[in-house]
Copies of this chain bind each other. A is one copy, B any other.
Amino acid sequence: MSKPARSDGTVGKALEILDLVASLGRPVRFTELLEQSDHPKATLYRFLQTLTNQNMLSYDPDTQTYALGVRLVRLAHAAWAQSSLAPVARPFIDALAQETGETVHLAQMEGGQVLYVDKRNAANPVEMFSQAGKVGPGYCTGVGKAIMAFMPQDAQDRALSQQAYYAYTGNTLSSAERLRGELEEIRADGISYDREEHEPGIICIAAPILSGGRRVIGALSITTTTTRNSLDGLNTFRPALTKTAKAIGTEAANWQFPTQN
């Protein structure tokens, strides 16, 4: 603690409160928030008022609780649709899932965490809103490592410092040094693996998506279980995976919004 945490004025504080509500994962009472946030009563109260007015929060008078508001859903829909990554990648992901018969993830990174923006499961063809938007740790997932490996130095340093390095399994890379070492290899190789580092029995192979072949904007992974398949088995998907990732990267770079001049 005691991190000044570049706090971006009033707007930053308001968003912090949204995150707080989100992190609790359920509708919350005023007092509960008061305990968590270090704002005085009056201040918190006004933020809550404002955010509720703005439909960023909703207030349920029956239970006297605050929850995240519908405006977020609307904005997120727009975000998804106007991103150059997710909509562009969609058909490619479909194809890859089809071809491999395994689960495919598309992820971006936010604040050191991995954010899954799309997912395709060979079994049920389309995944649902309630799935996209999930977050996961960066340091022990295939997509997280793939993205970090290709970040510019300063961003990578920041990301490395934001990891928790909790050892989920015996294979988890549990220090910044070890992770940094692996990132170098990944950068050289162009591929990352999750060797049961996050969950026992779950393995994956991932590749970064480089916009125009240069700037990393996300990652693509093929996930399976050790009972279904193996790392060697995943390796047979490598050509398809890298080809798809590259295709998405060029497509995303070229994706100019329709109204260009």
* Contact of A128 (CB < 8 Å), options: B9, B74, B110, B129: B129
Chain B residues with Cβ below 8 Å from A108 are 70
Chain B residues with Cβ below 8 Å from A60 are 84
- B72 near A72 with CB under 8 A, answer yes
Chain B residues with Cβ below 8 Å from A212 are 62
Chain B residues with Cβ below 8 Å from A211 are 62
The interface centre, meaning the residue of A18, A62, A71 with most chain B CB atoms within 10 A of its CB, is: A71
Cβ of A80 under 8 Å from chain B: yes
Cβ of A236 under 8 Å from chain B: no
Quick one: given A55-B110, A74-B110, A128-B127, are A67 and B50 in contact (CB under 8 Å)?
no
Chain B residues with Cβ below 8 Å from A58 are 83
Chain B residues with Cβ below 8 Å from A111 are 55, 71
Question: How many residues from A make CB contacts under 8 Å with B?
Answer: 74
Quick one: given A25-B82, A117-B70, are A18 and B129 in contact (CB under 8 Å)?
no
- Majority secondary structure, A binding face: mixed
User: A18 CA to B76 CA in the complex, in Å?
Assistant: 11
Chain B residues with Cβ below 8 Å from A47 are 11
Name A37-84 residues within 8 Å CB distance of B. 47, 50-51, 53-56, 58, 60-63, 65, 67-84
A92 to chain B, nearest CB (A): 15
Given A27-B257, A77-B132, 18 other A-B contacts at CB below 8 A?
Answer: A11-B51, A15-B54, A18-B75, A22-B82, A27-B82, A60-B84, A62-B253, A68-B83, A69-B110, A73-B117, A76-B133, A125-B125, A125-B126, A127-B128, A127-B129, A128-B128, A129-B131, A129-B132
Query: When A and B form their complex, which 6 residue pairs have the shortest distance between CB atoms, in order from nearest?
Result: A77-B133, A76-B76, A68-B79, A26-B257, A22-B78, A129-B129
Can you offer 17 A-B residue contacts whose CB atoms are under 8 A? A8-B50, A8-B53, A8-B54, A10-B10, A11-B14, A11-B54, A15-B71, A19-B75, A22-B75, A22-B82, A27-B257, A72-B76, A72-B79, A73-B80, A73-B133, A80-B133, A124-B125
